[in-house]
Amino acid sequence: MARGGLITLTASGVVGDSAKAQRLYGAAITSDSTAGVTILYSGTGTGGTKVLELDGTISKSLLIANFPAEGVLFPGGLYASLDAHSTSVSFMVEQVTTT
């Protein structure tokens, strides 16, 4: 059974259930007066495989990243590392069962 929805983080952490495969469909980054950087890993921390780096925009602007219709699969779970300038990041995700 797939579960999903919109999940917002204001600090680095696991998106969704820890170590459960996630499919990412989109992300929205809000930054402070310096462009924030968010790095996405497959896994439960920064020791996982780096999959994507999302670079925000300056001065609380919103960067919206859209992905292919099938999304981006994070088989080991999805961990987001937010730098000090990423004030929040919202993710549209779906927890999936992998075989």
pLDDT digits (tens, 9 = 90+) for 19-77: 999 999 989 888 888 889 999 999 999 999 999 998 888 766 666 777 888 999 999 99
pLDDT at 4 over 90: no
pLDDT at 52: 94
Q: What angle do CA 28, 31, 33 make, to 5 degrees?
A: 155
Tell the residue number behind the tokens 């670079």, with chain if given.
Answer: 55
Reported confidence tier of residue 97, pLDDT bands at 50, 70, 90: confident
Angle made by CA atoms 9, 93, 11, in degrees to the nearest 5: 10
Burial class (CB in 10 A: 0-12, 13-18, 19+), 10: exposed
pLDDT of residue 1: 40
CATH number at residue 81: 2.60.120.340
Q: What is the model's pTM? A: 0.90
Domain count, the chain: 1
Which domain range does residue 91 map to?
3-95
